[in-house]
Amino acid sequence: MLVVFRNPKDTVVSYYHFMNTNPVLPNAKSWDSFFTDFMEGEVAWGSYFNHALAWEKLMDNPNILMATYEQMKENLGQGVQQISKFFDFSLTEEQVQTIAGQSTFNAMKESSSKNTHGKHGNVFFRKGEVGDWKNHLSEAQSKQMDEKFEKHLAHTKLGAKLKYDIYCK
């Protein structure tokens, strides 16, 4: 099983915009209200931190590969190689590069737009940037997230994999 995590600050921003652009979901309230709900786990699919801690228990399971969105953004070709190796697929370097090229955020966004024939195109794709949280979280919200991460995930293997100090400070 492949499990992909994203840092919690970019997750809350992405989730907020997803709620407000997905036609089948109710619009999120204000940013501040949504942030509070997210931090309390009062959103659809529950608490990010409880979810992460549940997966933390499976970090050493050889049948599960944990990857991060940020890792994929840094080096998608390397991510494709890691995933193909995990699933025991033998790929040539050309195949890796082809898959990586078709798996970039912009390529998937463009493909989504073409395949929906104008019906809610790109509802799942907004920016795809790492660090966009800096444009949304107040200083107090950022500090609140830092404290929650420190309390729940900072000293875990998954917490280390998320590289919080690099992507969320």
Contact 38, 12 (CB under 8 A): yes
pLDDT tens digit sequence for 36-95: 999 999 988 899 999 999 999 999 999 999 999 999 888 888 998 999 999 999 999 998
State the residue range of the domain holding 40.
2-167
CATH, residue 159: 3.40.50.300
Number of domains in the chain: 1
Query: d(Cα 70, Cα 78) in Å, to the nearest integer?
Result: 12
Q: Is this prediction's pTM over 0.85?
A: no
